[in-house]
Amino acid sequence: MSETSYCIEEAKSARAACKTCKEKIPKGELRIGVNTPGPNDIIMTKWYHLECFNLPRKLLKEGIDARRFVQEMLEDTTNDGNLEEIEEKVIEAIETKPVPKNDVGGNSGGEGAKERMKRVRETWEGMRDDEDEEPKPKKKKKGDKKGGGGGVDKLELARAYGIYAEYNNNELKDVLRWNKQMVGGTKDILLQRILDGHVNGRLGLCPTCSEGKLKLEDDGETVKCPGWFDKENMMRHPCFYTCKRADAPRIQPWYTEKPPEDDENSKENIKEDMNSPLSILQASASEIKWDLSQPTGLKSAAKELIRVSTEHSKHKVAIPEDKTKARMEIGKILLSNRKKTSSEVMALLVKQFGFVAQKESAKEKKAELVSAHCQCPDNGFICMPFMEMSDLYFKEGNKNAGTSYKKAVAAIQAIDFKITKANALGLGKGKTKVAGIGKGTSEKIHELLTTGKIEKLEEKRAGA
């Protein structure tokens, strides 16, 4: 299929959610599907309630109205093929609401960024008319907080708007780049992201995957993680984290001009700390007999680097626990850096593998963040092994399994009751089944709660 196509059918289950309102579509209810071609000839389908579907702007430009769309473009895949009998009902459902100007692919997402920025601009213009006296805050109307910053007074947004009002698209994108934010979208969407960041702070990294950059969605209310790209394995890891704008992690400061080139981290401004873990290891490494011109010297150097990396209990380097594998990995580094000194190679080892203590600390912080973003914090520890398993599958090239476990993590985070040995198996089957959790995943959750580990994860770790 080379183009987008459309179909109508009764929902086969109650698992799919409408892409506009995000509500589940009940089984048997009519829904409209938008089919688009994906990678490897896979057809991707987005589902909509009849009343939530909007004609895409492209079709409207071609003069296609709701009636013509239903009669000529909507494929009838209903059980009885009775589209003709319900044709008027479908047309009426599509026509009963205005089509947003910024609609793409039938997904309206409620009030658009253009309308939100228009309201902010009107407030700013009102403030300019009377610079000596701030306008008295009017009684808040429904929707006054939309596009705002976690309940922030709209005057604050208006003041921020005044800073960027005359910026063109390229200048707005520069501001977003300085703050390491997403830069795609129309001018109103760019402004919306900038005002949110200016008032609330920069969006941080995803608290679930710890790698993806969070993005404020075009609806101005939702923050999502689009996943991250693994340069080592040359593949994209999806992530399904989502939260309300007011709950998103933030970083200060927000830059209104280009920041200095990491002044705090530049080599010129850092005074060498002789008590730092790296300095201690480099001092030990400098005593190694160093001759990488011969195979025996390479073997000896690898052996000594393993000793130095593991002998300091407080500063252990997270090299592979298997000594054979550790020698192989360190050997690769030595072969690629024959001209470097032992201290320089030690720095490369630390850069590649990191410190055990730092990794454990980061793991603990990540576990706390994951628990904090679970509907039931008690389920946080269940997410961690499945996140690790997902990453391991992605690294070995199994995207399907990796994505399945990412979805399982998102599903576990959304569960609002404590998962126990008694109810774990029910998450993957029957009336208590949770979308995103299959029979195999529920069995692994039960195994984790029963034995404290997942055998499959242990196998993956051993083979990594």
pTM of the predicted structure, to 2 decimals: 0.50
- Residue 128 and residue 114: Cα distance in Å, rounded? 21
Q: How confident is the model at residue 194 (pLDDT cuts 50, 70, 90)?
A: very high
DSSP state of 70: I
Let me know how long the chain is: 464
Q: Are residues 219 and 146 in contact, defined by beta-carbon separation less than 8 angstroms?
A: no
Taking the CB of residue 245, how many other CB atoms lie within 10 A of it? 19
DSSP 179-229: TT----S-HHHHHHHHHHHHHH-EE-B-TTTSSSBPEE-TTSSEEE---EE
Q: Which residues of 399-411 are buried (b: 16+ CB within 10 A; e: fewer)?
A: eebbbbbbbbbbb
Which tens digit of pLDDT belongs to each residue from 224-255? 988 887 766 566 777 878 888 888 888 888 99
CA dihedral 449, 451, 452, 458 (to 10 degrees): -120
pLDDT of residue 44: 86
Q: Are residues 110 and 219 in contact, defined by beta-carbon separation less than 8 angstroms?
A: yes
pLDDT of residue 442: 94
* Backbone φ, ψ for residue 55 (5° rounding): -65, 130
Which tens digit of pLDDT belongs to each residue from 195-221? 999 999 999 888 777 788 899 988 888
How many Cα atoms are found within 13 Å in the side-chain-facing hemisphere of 373?
24
pLDDT of residue 330: 92
- Residue 74 and residue 63: Cα distance in Å, rounded? 16
CA proximity to 409, closest of 430, 389, 429:
389
Which tens digit of pLDDT belongs to each residue from 35-66? 888 777 778 899 998 888 988 888 888 888 88
CB neighbour class for 5 (10 Å; exposed up to 12, middle 13-18, buried from 19): middle
Q: What is the mean pLDDT of the chain?
A: 82
Residue 34 has pLDDT above 90, yes or no: yes
Which stretches does DSSP call E strand in 70-151? Answer: 74-76
DSSP state of 148: S
pLDDT of residue 386: 92
